[in-house]
Amino acid sequence: MQRTIYNTNYGSHFSNAPLTTRDTESMSPTILRSEIDERITKIRPTSTPIDQISRLAGSRRAASMKVDYYSVDTKPGHATITTSLPSKDIPSDGTFSVEVDNPVIFSVSETVLFPANKNTAAPFVGVPLVGYIKDVNGNNLIVRPTQIKADVEEITIPAFNSGDRIVRMGRAACELDVQTPQYTAVPKKSFNYCQIFKTQIEESLYQRLSDKEVGWTFSDQEEVAIIDMRLGMEKSFMFGNCTRLQLANDSNDEVFLTGGIWHQAAKEFQYTKGRFSNRTLISMMKTAFTQGGGSTRKILIAGSDLIEQMSNLKANRTVGAEDNETIWGINFNKLVSKFGTLYVAHSEIFDLCGMSAYGMIIDPEYITKYTHLPFSAERISFRKQGVRNTEATVLTEASCLVLRYPDTHIRITPNN
């Protein structure tokens, strides 16, 4: 019986014949992973750590070239006092007002701690002052001090200096309270563009048939092309500028450029170049693992100068250099501290981009890859098309990277 093919809007149906890989490739070229696609994560993974991690961690399907995503950070845990307040007596049932730089993070019925303001009255001598917020009026918090004895008519509050910290603590409700001030968090909408990454390998028929001194085949050329393609993608994923360009020669054609994660990170740590000490390392890890949440295991990728300075440090009781560990096909050196574990790897793209003294700490739990067009290999025979006597492979991927919870990722920069 003759084989028949029936095409619908959502697929192709075959009758009277088995389905072959050639049929699948012709009707749905991206459903089968080509040999190149299977090998891509095994080709020099340490050269492209960002692409490697995002590729093995899985990606989300993007319906268009523009990717909208939401990110949200945790509510700040403290504010700063902006106006000095002298020590004074207030009634035991009274309140005092203190001006802060970020009053919107506070609400009525929350308790607050003044770490720098120690009580002077017994029995709370030397104990930091704790207060209960009765009202928020503009930039001023109306606070009732809590360390008051029932038989004391007045209390002396210590002086407050501009720059002192005020820390948010737990909310305190009355026994009959049913409701409290509402707490909501609205994520911020951002976007990035998927960039179409392409490379083409082409070989003439006679080149393929020629006897070669070494076993240099078309697959070897594909592997070299993939290395070059991934290095280019790695640079774009790290330092790219999110924009779209209208080509002058064709008003209907646009080029989408993806934005790099370097610009998406919300925090930055600076160090003095040539003076990277153990104290600097501890401070860097403190910045990486505190005040931003995130995982207790993060990744530092850095240029050769920064790696060299860190390699000259000696392990101590606070930060220890443990054995190497291979994750995502990349060999990392582990730095373990009381704050968290840092997996360190050299990234040659920092050197290639003239940033050998720079680095970036990434939380792998909060990096997401969006793919509009999955990595695919399309075989083209220009010989059969009558164009030229060559065979070609075109490798294509349209994708981008985004950082969720920007405070969990940090740029490391020299300050000179």
Phi, psi for 205 (deg, rounded to 5): -60, -40
Residue 195 CB contacts under 8 Å (≥ 6 apart), including other chains: 236, 240, 256, 257, 258, 398, 399, 400
Interatomic CA distance for residues 146 and 148, integer angstroms = 6
131-149 mean pLDDT: 80
Burial class (CB in 10 A: 0-12, 13-18, 19+), 47: middle
How many residues are listed for the chain in this entry? 416
Token pair for 63: 């319906």
Mean of the per-residue pLDDT values for the chain? 75
pLDDT at position 319 over 60? yes
Q: Are 121 and 156 in contact (CB under 8 A)?
A: yes
Burial class (CB in 10 A: 0-12, 13-18, 19+), 295: middle
Residue 266 CB contacts under 8 Å (≥ 6 apart), including other chains: 73, 292, 406, 407, 409
| DSSP alpha helix (H) spans, 135-292 | 205-209, 218-239, 278-289
Q: Would you state the pLDDT for residue 302?
A: 93
**How many Å is the maximal CA-CA distance in the chain?**
104
What pLDDT, in 10s, does the model give residues 206-227?
Answer: 455 444 444 434 466 677 777 8
Q: Are 240 and 259 in contact (CB under 8 A)?
A: yes
74-82 mean pLDDT: 76
pLDDT at position 74 over 70? no
Q: Which of 32-36, 87-91, 154-158, 405-409 has the lowest mean pLDDT?
A: 32-36
Q: Are 73 and 406 in contact (CB under 8 A)?
A: yes
Q: Would you state the pLDDT for residue 28?
A: 45
DSSP one-letter code for 34: P
- 123 prior amide bond cis, ω within 30: yes
Residue 279 CB contacts under 8 Å (≥ 6 apart), including other chains: none
pLDDT at position 35 over 60? no
Q: Would you state the pLDDT for residue 103?
A: 83
- Give the pLDDT band of residue 300 (cuts 50, 70, 90): very high
Phi, psi for 115 (deg, rounded to 5): -60, -35
* Percent of all residues in the chain with a pLDDT value above 70, rounded to a whole number: 67
- 396: enclosing H helix or E strand: strand 390-403
What pLDDT, in 10s, does the model give residues 90-130?
Answer: 765 578 888 888 887 788 878 888 887 776 666 566 677 88
Interatomic CA distance for residues 262 and 102, integer angstroms = 27
pLDDT at position 83 over 70? yes
* Overall pTM surpassing 0.85 (yes/no): no
- Give the pLDDT band of residue 18 (cuts 50, 70, 90): low
343-370 mean pLDDT: 90
What pLDDT, in 10s, does the model give residues 262-284?
Answer: 998 988 999 998 889 889 999 99
Token pair for 245: 């360009």
Interatomic CA distance for residues 365 and 342, integer angstroms = 14
